[in-house]
Amino acid sequence: MKREIFPEYLGDVDTEYLLQNLTNTNGTARANIDCVREMFPHGFTVSGEFECSVFETETERNEYREASERRLRKATDGGEQLAALVPADKMLARLILEPKTSR
């Protein structure tokens, strides 16, 4: 089994919404925040890079399928939250904001 990173488009975010929800800004940040508003008026495209296992053999695929089925049964029996449906080995490696050029 090896691990690989897969990109996934998550959505778009408006620049103003992003900036209004900043927390813990320092006292000199106001000028920089205004600069970001001017530089990126159309917002950002948000994507993530997720690292997860790639199963190379039939045995690895079967083991993963069986583990997933057990987790699904547990989740649907009310024993766990729906977060149990997310692959156990999937990790967010990087969150990427790319400037949009137009709306």
CA distance 58 to 45: 37
Using alpha carbons, select from 19, 21, 24 the residue that is nearest to residue 34.
Answer: 19
Q: Dump the DSSP string for 29-49.
A: HHHHHHHHHHH-TT-EEEEEE
Q: Where are the domains of the chain?
A: 2-99
pLDDT at position 79 is: 52
pTM for the whole structure = 0.61
Cβ(25)–Cβ(50) below 8 Å? no
Which tokens belong to 67?
């583990």
Per-residue pLDDT tens digits for 68-95: 788 777 776 665 555 545 556 788 999 9
∠ Cα 95 103 39 (to 5°): 65
CA 96 – CA 50 distance, rounded (Å): 11
- pLDDT per residue as tens digits for the range 24-69: 777 788 888 889 999 999 999 999 999 988 878 888 888 888 887 8
